[in-house]
């Protein structure tokens, strides 16, 4: 039979894998059985649209590309009748007489690998827009960490497995006939992800698209952001002109409303700055002993300068200045973490959030991660915190202290915060002492390194975390004027680091623990503890807020005593 040239080429290129991808394996096998069981041979007639094949009571119109073929049956998908007609036409390519049984079920696949022109021609820029900023960034992390899609290219089909989405995509030529396990007939997000990973593997994605762009989020409007910042500056200017002594207590509510406007305008950094300013105002009107004018002015100036910078910035710079919300997490792959400590947080020192922050050491990446179990305390009194269970562990997170956790499917944000997503699973390891987990280079004994690497202004908390072993601890008298508990730490060169805790009702347990440590040091000055905390500068002093401290016995097991000969 003389077939149209385009149809003959499509039939020749369509191997078994391609036909199965058009429908499914069950439909393909059923089509072969139906073709072999036909009582009378099919009848074919060439038409301007293709080849019309009569299979018993059913009529199929086969044309190129094969996915555009039609059938008189009610099925809207590629049915068994169309596959039977395609198989029969393939058998006619070598010229058996009409009505003769086919010598084979399908032609052997071509030796030359297909080039997939429509897959190569699809613009990567359009793919990135279809994926969205967040999914695009997550896919780049998967690709760069070696946890990307599993791509199997064989014959005329490219099979792409997406484990995180539980989806399997078969990319075909032409692209619109590709199929997905989600059964979507449109170009679904799984097909877009599969094509993006295939183009990455083929080197078709420009370098500019291999870097994640800051996510503006849905509904983000730069003009709205500038308008919010203008309103914030005007409100702050009015507060400054009025003066602190003449401001009414309702300024706390006003500042809170400004923070809510920043949240709506997707300005998380400015929102957090205003919440910190609101806490300073609240401390002033409560006549709190911890209130300081300098702290209020610092918070005020920070909010003012940030609002001014965002208002004057170009659109691309606004995204950087606006920051990101803390719930924008990206895949991090498998991780092995060690729970080193936790810190109780109050609304005052965490901008209106209360709860606990857990600190983990990454044994492979050799850096710190955190998990924040915090709840907003802006509008209601905080409730009692129930024991926290995460990642399918058989115990609470508090009970996993000093244990090794192996996380599968972990997700982290840009600030090193871990997600509590249910898709992450943790295997609980044995309890070990921290000195057996942290390498010697992670233990700081030279305070000059703390000054250079961990105390610069503007560093996020994650980069100011340090584990410190002093050469000497010198107890200090309690400062009743500033209500400070302090302990002076010295290294071998005599450089000092001040452990500092400002008295507050919520800090009472921390101060009690440090006072017990101080009493023990007075009795035995040789048993130097190890401190884990946050480093910061205060004028000319280098200070440390302690999160945990470890005595010699709780840091590392003592070496076994040598037996006397």
Average pLDDT over residues 119-144: 81
Mean pLDDT, rounded, for 252-274: 88
Are 425 and 509 in the same domain?
no
**Assigned domain for 300 exists:** yes
Is residue 563 one of the residues assigned to a domain?
A: no
| pLDDT for res 268 | 86
- pLDDT of 304 reads 93
Asked whether residue 559 carries a pLDDT value surpassing 90, the answer given is no
Residue 368 has pLDDT above 70, yes or no: yes
CB 488 within 8 A of CB 514: no
Q: Quick one: 445 and 551 in the same domain?
A: yes
Residue 366 resides in a domain: yes
Q: What percent of the chain has pLDDT over 90?
A: 10
Q: Region 251-258: what's the mean pLDDT?
A: 90
Mean pLDDT calculated for residue range 427-441: 87
DSSP-assigned states of every residue in 252-291: HHHHHHHHHHHHHTT-HHHHHHHHHHHHHHHHHHTT-TT-
Average pLDDT estimate for 470-493 = 84
Strands across the sheet with 50-55, in order?
A: 43-47, 50-55, 58-62, 70-71
Res 5 pLDDT > 80: no
Task: Walk across the sheet containing 443-444 and list its strands.
Answer: 443-444, 465-468, 530-538, 541-550, 496-502, 484-490, 472-475
204 and 131 share one domain: yes
* Pair (454, 544) in one structural domain: yes
Q: CA–CA separation, 443 vs 426, rounded Å?
A: 27
Of 414, 432, 450, the last residue of a domain is 432
Distance (Å, rounded) from C-alpha 442 to C-alpha 424? 27
pTM: 0.53
**Is residue 302, in this structure, part of any structural domain at all?**
yes
Give the residue with greater pLDDT, 462 vs 560.
Answer: 462
| Same-domain pairing of 460 and 540 | yes
| Share of residues in the chain with pLDDT > 70 (%) | 85
Average pLDDT, the chain: 80
Residue 265 confidence (pLDDT) above 60? yes
pLDDT score for 104: 44
21-30, 160-169, 320-329, 522-531: least confidently modelled range: 320-329
**Has residue 560 been placed in a domain?**
no
pLDDT at 385: 63
Of the residues 91, 107, 132, which one is the last residue of a structural domain? 91
Stretch 517-528: mean pLDDT: 77
| Of the candidate ranges 108-112, 126-130, 312-316, 344-348, the one whose mean pLDDT is the lowest | 108-112
Q: Which domain holds residue 255?
A: 222-313
CB 313 within 8 A of CB 325: no
Same structural domain, 121 and 203: yes
Annotate 177-206 with b (16+ C-beta within 10 A) or e (fewer): bbbbeeeeeebbbbbbbbbbbbbbbeebbe
**11 and 71 share one domain:** yes
| Per-range mean pLDDT, top range of 55-69, 348-362, 431-445, 469-483 | 431-445
Residue 540 and residue 453 share a domain: yes
Residues comprising the chain, all counted: 565
Domain count, the chain: 5
Domain contains 185: yes
- Measure the CA–CA gap between 257 and 259, rounded to whole angstroms: 5
Comparison of pLDDT for 519 and 377, the residue scoring more: 519
SS (H, E, C) 83-96: HHHHHHHHHCCCCC
Closest CA to 548 of 382, 344, 325, 248: 344
pLDDT at 111 over 60: no
Residue 66's nearest CA partner among 38, 106, 97 is: 106
- Is 131 strand, coil or helix? helix
| pLDDT over 60 (residue 105) | no
For residue 415, being part of any structural domain is answered with yes
| Residues 426, 454 within the same domain | no
Instruction: Give me the numbers of helices (H) and strands (E) for the chain, helices first please.
Output: 17, 20
515 shares its domain with 415: no
Q: Do 277 and 348 sit in the same domain of this protein?
A: no
CATH number for the domain spanning 488: value is 2.40.50.140
Q: Which residues of 285-317 are buried (b: 16+ CB within 10 A; e: fewer)?
A: eeeeeeeeeebbeebbebbbebbeebbebeeee
Q: Is the pLDDT of residue 347 over 70?
A: no
Q: Please say which residue of 282, 313, 344 terminates a domain.
A: 313
CA distances to 26, 139, 155, 178 from 159, rounded to whole Å, are 18, 17, 10, 10
How would residue 79 be classed by pLDDT, with cut points 50, 70 and 90?
confident
pLDDT above 90 (res 277): yes
180, 169 contact by CB (below 8 A): yes
| pLDDT given for residue 325 in this prediction | 62
pLDDT confidence band for 382 (50 / 70 / 90) = low
Question: Which letter does DSSP use for residue 418 in this model?
Answer: B
pLDDT of residue 500: 87
> At residue 192, what are phi and psi to the nearest 5 degrees?
-65, -45
Instruction: Please say if the pLDDT value at position 61 is more than 90.
Output: no
Do 197 and 259 lie in one domain? The reply is no
Domain assignment present for residue 103? The answer is no
């Amino acid at each position: 039979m003389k077939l149209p040239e385009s149809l003959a080429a499509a039939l020749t290129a369509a191997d078994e894998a391609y036909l199965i991808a058009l429908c499914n394996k069950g439909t393909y096998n059923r089509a072969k059985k139906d073709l072999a069981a036909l009582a009378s041979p099919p009848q074919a007639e060439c038409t301007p649209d293709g080849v019309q094949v009569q299979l018993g009571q059913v009529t199929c119109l086969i044309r190129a590309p094969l996915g555009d073929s039609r059938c008189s049956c009610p099925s809207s998908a590629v049915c068994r009748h169309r596959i039977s007609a395609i198989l029969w036409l393939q058998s006619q390519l070598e010229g058996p007489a009409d009505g003769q049984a086919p010598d084979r079920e399908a032609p052997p696949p071509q030796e030359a690998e297909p080039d997939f022109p429509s897959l190569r021609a699809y613009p990567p820029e359009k793919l990135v827009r279809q994926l969205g900023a967040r999914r695009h960034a997550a896919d780049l992390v998967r690709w760069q960490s070696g946890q990307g899609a599993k791509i199997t290219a064989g014959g005329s089909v490219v099979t792409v497995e997406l484990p995180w989405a539980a989806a399997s995509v078969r990319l075909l030529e032409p692209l619109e006939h590709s199929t997905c396990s989600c059964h979507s007939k449109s170009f679904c997000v799984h097909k877009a992800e599969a094509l993006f990973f295939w183009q990455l593997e083929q080197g078709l994605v420009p370098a500019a698209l291999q870097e994640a762009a800051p996510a503006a989020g849905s509904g983000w409007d730069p003009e709205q952001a500038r308008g919010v910042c203008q309103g914030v500056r005007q409100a702050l200017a009015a507060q400054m002109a009025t003066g602190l002594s003449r401001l009414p207590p309702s300024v706390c509510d006003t500042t809170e409303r400004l923070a809510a406007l920043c949240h709506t305008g997707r300005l998380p950094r400015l929102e957090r700055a205003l919440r910190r300013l609101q806490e300073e105002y609240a401390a002033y009107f409560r006549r709190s002993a911890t209130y300081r004018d300098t702290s209020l002015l610092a918070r005020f100036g920070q909010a003012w300068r940030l609002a001014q910078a965002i208002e004057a910035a170009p659109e691309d710079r606004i995204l950087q200045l606006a920051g990101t919300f803390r719930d924008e997490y990206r895949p991090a792959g498998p991780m092995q973490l060690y729970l080193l400590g936790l810190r109780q947080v109050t609304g005052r020192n965490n901008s209106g959030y209360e709860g606990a922050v857990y600190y983990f050491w990454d044994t492979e990446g050799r850096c710190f991660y955190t998990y924040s179990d915090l709840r907003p305390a802006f509008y209601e009194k905080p409730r009692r915190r129930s024991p926290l269970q995460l990642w399918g562990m058989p115990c609470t997170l508090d009970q996993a202290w000093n244990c090794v956790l192996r996380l599968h499917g972990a997700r982290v944000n840009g600030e090193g915060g871990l997600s509590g997503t249910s898709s992450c699973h943790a295997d609980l390891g044995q309890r070990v002492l921290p000195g057996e987990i942290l390498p010697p280079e992670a233990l700081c004994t030279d305070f000059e390194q703390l000054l250079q690497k961990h105390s610069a202004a503007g560093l996020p908390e994650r980069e100011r975390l340090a584990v410190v072993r002093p050469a000497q601890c010198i107890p200090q008298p309690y400062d009743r004027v500033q209500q400070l508990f302090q302990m002076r730490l010295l290294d071998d060169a005599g450089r000092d680091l001040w452990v500092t805790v400002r008295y507050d009702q919520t800090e009472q347990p921390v101060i009690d623990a440090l006072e017990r440590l101080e009493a023990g040091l007075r009795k035995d000055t040789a048993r130097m503890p190890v401190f884990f905390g946050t480093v910061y500068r205060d004028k000319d002093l280098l200070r440390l807020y302690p999160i945990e401290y470890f005595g010699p016995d709780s840091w590392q097991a003592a070496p076994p005593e040598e037996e006397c000969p």
